[in-house]
Structure 1
Amino acid sequence: MKALATALLLAAASPALAQTQPPAASAPAAAAPDPARLAVARELADKLIPQGMYQRMLGGNFNRMMESMVGSAAEIPMRDFAQMGGMSEAEVAALGQTTLREVMEIYDPYWQERQQRMMRSMMGEMGKLMSTLEPKVRVALARAYAREYTLPELQALQRFFATPAGSHYARSSMELMMGPDMAQTMAEAMPEIMKQMPALVQAAQAGTKDLPSPRKAEDLTPQEREKILKLLGAKSAPPAKK
Structure 2
Amino acid sequence: MTNRERIMLMSRWKSILFGAALVMSPVSAHAQDQGAAPAAEPAADRLAAATQLMDLILPTAQRDAMVEQMMKAIMTTMTASLKDQPSFAAAMQNPKVETVFNRFIDRQRQQTAEQLKAGMPGMLTAMSRAYARRFTVPQLAEMHSFFSTPTGQAYVRESYGILSDPDIATWQRDLMAKGFARLPEEMKALQQELEGVLGKPLAESKS
Give TM-score, length-normalised by structure 2. Answer: 0.71
Of 139, 162, 166 in structure 2, the residue corresponding to residue 176 of structure 1 is: 162
Deviation, structure 1 residue 132: 0.7
Query: Which secondary structure state, in structure 2, belongs to the residue aligned with residue 177 of structure 1?
Result: helix
Q: Is 1:57–1:175's contact at 8 Å kept on the other side of the alignment?
A: yes
Larger Rg, first or second structure (1 or 2): 1
Query: Which secondary structure state, in structure 2, belongs to the residue aligned with residue 110 of structure 1?
Result: helix
Query: Which secondary structure state, in structure 2, belongs to the residue aligned with residue 112 of structure 1?
Result: helix
Unaligned runs of 5+ in 2: 1-14, 199-204
Matched residues in 2 for 1:113 and 1:218: separation?
A: 35
Of 58, 62, 68 in structure 2, the residue corresponding to residue 55 of structure 1 is: 68
- What is the identity percentage for the equivalent residue pairs of Structure 1 and Structure 2? 25
**Dislocated runs of 4+, deviation >6 Å:** 202-206
Alpha-carbon distance change, 20 to 37 in structure 1, aligned in 2, over 3 angstroms? farther
Query: Which secondary structure state, in structure 1, belongs to the residue aligned with residue 160 of structure 2?
Result: helix
Q: Is 1:47–1:171's contact at 8 Å kept on the other side of the alignment?
A: no
| Alignment pair present for 1:23 and 2:34 | yes
Deviation, structure 1 residue 178: 4.8
Query: Which secondary structure state, in structure 2, belongs to the residue aligned with residue 30 of structure 1?
Result: coil
Give TM-score, length-normalised by structure 1. Answer: 0.62
Query: Which secondary structure state, in structure 2, belongs to the residue aligned with residue 145 of structure 1?
Result: helix
Matched residues in 2 for 1:109 and 1:71: separation?
A: 14
| Alignment pair present for 1:135 and 2:121 | yes
Deviation, structure 1 residue 149: 1.6
Q: Is 1:37–1:151's contact at 8 Å kept on the other side of the alignment?
A: yes
Q: Is 1:45–1:141's contact at 8 Å kept on the other side of the alignment?
A: yes
Matched residues in 1 for 2:134 and 2:30: separation?
A: 16
Deviation, structure 1 residue 168: 1.7
* One-letter amino acid matched to 1:101: A
* Larger relative helix fraction: 2
Question: For this pair of structures, how many residues does the alignment match?
Answer: 184
Deviation, structure 1 residue 18: 4.2
* One-letter amino acid matched to 1:5: G
Alpha-carbon distance change, 33 to 201 in structure 1, aligned in 2, over 3 angstroms? farther
1:87-114 deviation line (CA, Å, top 9, x unaligned): xxxxxxxxxxxx4423553xx3333343
Aligned to 1:39: 48
